[in-house]
């Protein structure tokens, strides 16, 4: 699984509940729904993460914190290479949270974090996944009430629809490659 997000989504309980939007990947590991050694999280950053979730992710997954994109991996090309190595030729699900993008580009989300990916970085990364065994994808957490922009749509809606289109293209190309 390739998880692109500002947040780990591996917290334990929140407000007395184990099932919440900050815990799906911890629950998936606990229920043996995903193989942790084949999961990469990209773009993790910000104060809305808790140390428990960060520690859980570091222990179980490959994590690329946002500051590491340039400092450790030398940019998106290096992160792309790492992601391809982690998932290999296995069936791969891509989950893209809109808050992985910098809020200057995508302010319409419930949990924005400054210092995120640019739209150009996100598109280069996604397009670089062509050829992987993509079996599904999602684009989550666009919140139109928090969006800004002119008549007919906002910045986040445009970014989100573009990302969703890219994900659908990746899925279609993967299906076509399997047929040939």
3-state secondary structure of 179: helix
Look at residue 180 in the predicted model and tell me its pLDDT: 82
At residue 20 the predicted structure's pLDDT band, cuts being 50, 70 and 90, is: low
- Nearest Cα neighbor of 30 from 10, 46, 45 is 10
Q: Which two tokens stand for residue 9?
A: 């989504």
Q: Which residue range is the domain that position 82 belongs to?
A: 2-179
Q: Which two tokens stand for residue 85?
A: 């190595």
Global pTM value: 0.94
| Average of per-residue pLDDT across 16-38 | 86
Q: Which two tokens stand for residue 14?
A: 């929140």
Q: What is the CATH number of the domain that holds 86?
A: 3.40.800.10
Look at residue 53 in the predicted model and tell me its pLDDT: 85
Look at residue 150 in the predicted model and tell me its pLDDT: 65
| Average of per-residue pLDDT across 119-136 | 98
How many structural domains comprise the chain? 1
**In 10 A of CB 4, how many CB atoms?**
27
């Amino acid at each position: 699984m390739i998880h692109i997000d500002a947040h780990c989504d591996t917290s334990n309980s929140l407000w007395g509940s184990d099932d919440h939007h900050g815990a799906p990947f911890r629950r998936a590991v606990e229920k043996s729904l995903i193989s942790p050694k084949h999961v990469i999280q990209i773009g993790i950053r910000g104060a809305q993460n808790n140390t428990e979730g960060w520690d859980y992710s570091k222990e179980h997954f490959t994590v690329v914190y946002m500051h590491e994109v340039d400092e450790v991996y030398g940019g998106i090309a290096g992160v792309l290479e790492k992601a391809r190595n982690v998932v290999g030729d296995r069936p791969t699900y891509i989950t893209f949270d809109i808050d992985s993008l910098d809020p200057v580009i995508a302010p319409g989300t419930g949990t924005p974090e400054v210092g995120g990916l640019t739209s150009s970085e996100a598109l280069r990364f996604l397009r670089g996944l062509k050829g992987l065994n993509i079996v599904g994808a999602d684009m989550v957490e666009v919140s139109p009430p928090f969006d800004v922009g002119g008549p007919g749509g906002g910045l986040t809606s445009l970014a989100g629809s573009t990302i969703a289109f890219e994900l659908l293209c990746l899925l279609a190309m993967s299906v076509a490659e399997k047929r040939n």
